[in-house]
Amino acid sequence: MAYAERALDALGDPTRRQIFKRLRGGARSVGQLAHGMDVSRPAVSQHLRVLKDARLVTDRAEGTRRLYAVDTRGVEALRNWLDGFWDEALSAFKSAAEQEAANERKST
Amino acid sequence: MSVQAPPATAWRVFTEKMSSWWPLGHYKIGKGKAVEAIIEPHVGGRWYERGEDGSTCDWGRVLVWEPDVRLVLTWDINADWQYDPKLNTEIEVRFIADGKERTRVELEHRHLDRFGARREQMRRVFDQEGDWGKLLGMFARVAEQDPSS
């Protein structure tokens, strides 16, 4: 849950969404990510750090470069969070239905 | 999910008494406090919330109304907080008798890709405040991520 919330917050920023979207096309360096965007390389690095903290992005060294890619753990956390919404709603429904059934049994 | 209640009771609580269990504190779209979640009991009926000031916000409508057995609702709220009858993601709920006193309740939220088809629009949801915006944004995100949908 904590990572899902962090992921949601991280993706709340349009520039970070743009970066995340570009990484879905494959691993890229900071330079490649910054190319064609309206933000500086240091700003891209800063955004990548936030995405990394939310487990949406991983990085690895390749030669002299550092490559960034989508981290499936954060994506999985988001998926679980969505499932959690229905779990929350349905477990509340279950309690209400069972209470109602108990009342009916009492009154007959 | 297995519920200790006959199908007719489970159905009634799900449909007529949705306000008693739906987490209205977190999951609503109106600006004010929502006090009721209402499903009109027929095919084509509205599914909506009512705020304490009496205003209503549509969520979707009823596609299938088979009392005690099956309910299909559309979920039609778009990125602009407007009811969009073309959006049509679907929530199907099945009530399956398991003896006289138990019901298996299965829920499926499908066609999330229809958010995906409008993801440019849905993306703006992230700029909205609140859990509901996050939730809808998530639907869009999952739809984008899931190649099977």
Domains for chain A: give ranges and CATH numbers.
2-107 (1.10.10.10)
What is the structure's pLDDT at A79?
Answer: 62
**CA diameter of chain A:** 78
Residue B60: pLDDT over 70: yes
Q: Is a pLDDT exceeding 70 seen at residue A81?
A: no
- Residues of A with Cβ-Cβ distance to B138 under 8 angstroms: 8, 78, 81-82
Domain ranges of chain B: 2-113
pLDDT at residue B28, rounded to an integer: 67
SS3 state of residue B53: coil
Q: What is the mean pLDDT of chain B?
A: 75
Per-residue pLDDT band for B63 (boundaries 50, 70, 90) equals: very high
pTM of the model: 0.61
Amino acid at B87: L
The lowest-confidence range among A32-36, B115-119, B142-146 is B142-146
Partners of B103 in the β-ladder: B3, B97
Question: Are residues B27 and A89 in contact, defined by beta-carbon separation less than 8 angstroms?
Answer: yes
Angstrom distance (rounded) from CA A91 to CA B90: 20
**CA–CA gap between residue B51 and residue B135 (Å, rounded):** 20
What's the confidence (pLDDT) of residue B44? 95
The C-alpha atoms of residue A78 and residue B120 are separated, in whole angstroms, by 19
Query: Chain B window 70-109: which residues touch A at a Cβ cutoff of 8 Å?
Result: 101, 103, 105, 107, 109
CATH number of this structure's domain B2-113? 3.30.530.20
Element (H, E) at A28: strand A28-29
* Beta bridge partner(s), residue B73: B62, B91
Match 């470069």 to its residue by tokens: A65
Cα distances (angstroms) measured from residue B93 to each of A50, B61, B70:
38, 14, 6
Q: Is the pLDDT of residue B22 over 90?
A: no
CA B20 to CA A89: how far, in whole Å?
11
B132 in contact with chain A, both atoms CB, cutoff 8 A: no
Which range among A58-62, B65-69, B72-76 shows the weakest confidence by mean pLDDT? B72-76
For residue B105, the tally of other CB atoms under 10 A from its CB is 21
Supply the pLDDT for residue A18. 81
**Testing the interface with B: which of A5, A6, A8, A108 to mutate, by most B Cβ within 10 A?**
A8
What pLDDT does residue B58 have? 87
How big is the CA angle at B75 (ends B72 and B79), to the nearest 5 degrees?
A: 170
Residue of A nearest to B18 (CA): A93
Instruction: Determine the residue type at B130.
Output: G
Please tell me the least confidently modeled range out of A46-50, A65-69, B133-137.
B133-137
The model's pLDDT over A10-63, given as tens digits with 9 standing for 90+, comes to: 776 778 878 887 887 789 999 999 998 999 999 999 999 999 998 889 999 999
What's B43's DSSP letter? T
